[in-house]
């Protein structure tokens, strides 16, 4: 393994020394395509100009989450209050009233 | 274009103002730099022109979000390295690698490399070393390949690699150690198949 370590180091060393290809001139087609893209994104409507839909959607989602959470907390408190008040007898009476007993 | 003629802040200001000539200047100034990066990390299925163009399109698309907290060249190299890494990751199949696939000349060069330990080396030995690495590196994972190229061929420091990739120092060191281990294993296999 030690031999391979030395060999690998030598390969790296020699590969670094290998002559590099000269950087050629950029092809005309590439320059044209890149600049056309730059022009296109420059003229495309920006986020702020099209009303900033994404930030508005983010705010709407955030507000919806807050509302859902607060209504959940309120409903839980209400339920806890009701279940605290109702004794087994009261629950039986509620059930009987709901079932329509005593209306006859 | 000579280095001293390129005024980076001025060029960026002009690009912001919509001057096409400034965008052209930026492209021409950084083209050799991006091309060099692309050649070092090129996936097999893409041509260097395609990948270079892809990188410049990303650069111009994201240029408005460039905060100027680092030199533009550094930012461009980050874009280039990440694009190359993503393209290497997209390369699902890695080529098979056999000693028999080397040309006779390269095989001779590799044998000479293994036996000759002197500091001086001929151009053919350097070419053989480069070709051997060119066959071995695609066997590694994209991250390992990128790391070995930057660390051992481009001689970048651990901190420079950390800045370019976003990996931690420990991750860079551990990954480099493991990648070297894999390369050494490949050399052992090469030795075995060369003896047959």
Write the pLDDT tens digit of every residue in B12-52: 999 999 899 999 999 999 999 999 888 887 776 678 889 99
Say what the pTM is. Answer: 0.64
What's the rounded Cα separation, in Å, for the pair B147 and B179?
Answer: 8
The predicted pLDDT at position B22 comes to 93
- A100 DSSP assignment: T
Chain A contact set for B53 (CB, 8 A): 30, 33-34
CB contact under 8 A, B187 and A4: yes
Is residue A46's pLDDT more than 70?
Answer: no
**Chain centroid to CA B41:** 3
Query: Best interface-test mutation with A: which of B57, B122, B176 has the largest number of A CBs within 10 A?
Result: B57
Which range, of A22-31, A76-85, B166-175, averages the lowest pLDDT?
A76-85
Query: What is chain B's length?
Result: 196
CB contact under 8 A, B187 and A17: no
The predicted pLDDT at position B4 comes to 55
- The list of chain B residues with pLDDT below 70 reads 1-4, 44-45, 92-97, 99, 116-121, 194-196
Nearest CA in chain B to A43: B18
Higher local confidence (pLDDT), A1 or A102: A102
Query: Best interface-test mutation with B: which of A2, A7, A9, A48 has the largest number of B CBs within 10 A?
Result: A7
Interface confidence, given as ipTM, is 0.71
In terms of Cβ atoms closer than 10 Å to its own Cβ (0-12, 13-18, 19+), residue B92 is: exposed
């Amino acid at each position: 393994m030690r031999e391979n370590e030395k060999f690998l180091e030598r390969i790296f060393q020699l590969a670094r020394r290998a002559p590099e290809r000269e950087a050629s001139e950029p092809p005309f087609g590439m320059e044209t395509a890149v600049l056309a893209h730059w022009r296109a994104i420059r003229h495309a409507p920006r986020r702020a100009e099209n009303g900033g839909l994404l930030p508005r959607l983010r705010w709407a989602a955030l507000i919806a989450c807050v509302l859902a959470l607060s209504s959940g907390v309120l409903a839980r408190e209400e339920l806890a209050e009701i279940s605290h008040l109702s004794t087994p007898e009261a629950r039986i009476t509620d059930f009987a009233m709901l079932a329509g007993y005593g209306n006859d | 274009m000579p280095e001293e003629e390129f005024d980076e802040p001025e060029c960026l200001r002009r690009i912001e103002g919509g001057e096409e000539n400034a965008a052209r200047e930026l492209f021409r100034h950084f083209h050799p730099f991006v091309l060099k990066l692309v050649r070092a990390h090129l996936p097999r299925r893409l041509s260097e022109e395609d990948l270079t163009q892809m990188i410049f399109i990303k650069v111009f698309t994201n240029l408005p979000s460039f905060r100027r907290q680092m030199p533009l060249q550094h930012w461009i190299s980050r874009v280039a390295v990440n694009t190359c890494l993503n393209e290497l990751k997209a390369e699902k199949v890695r080529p098979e690698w056999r000693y028999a696939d080397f040309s006779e000349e390269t095989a001779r060069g590799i044998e000479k490399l293994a036996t000759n330990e002197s500091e001086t080396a001929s151009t053919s030995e350097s070419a053989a070393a480069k070709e051997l690495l060119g066959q071995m590196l695609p066997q590694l994972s994209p991250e390992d390949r990128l790391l070995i190229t930057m660390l051992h061929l481009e001689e970048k420091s651990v901190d420079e690699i950390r800045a370019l990739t976003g990996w931690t120092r420990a991750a860079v060191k551990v990954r480099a150690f493991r990648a070297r281990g894999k390369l050494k294993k490949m050399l052992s296999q090469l030795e075995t198949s060369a003896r047959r």
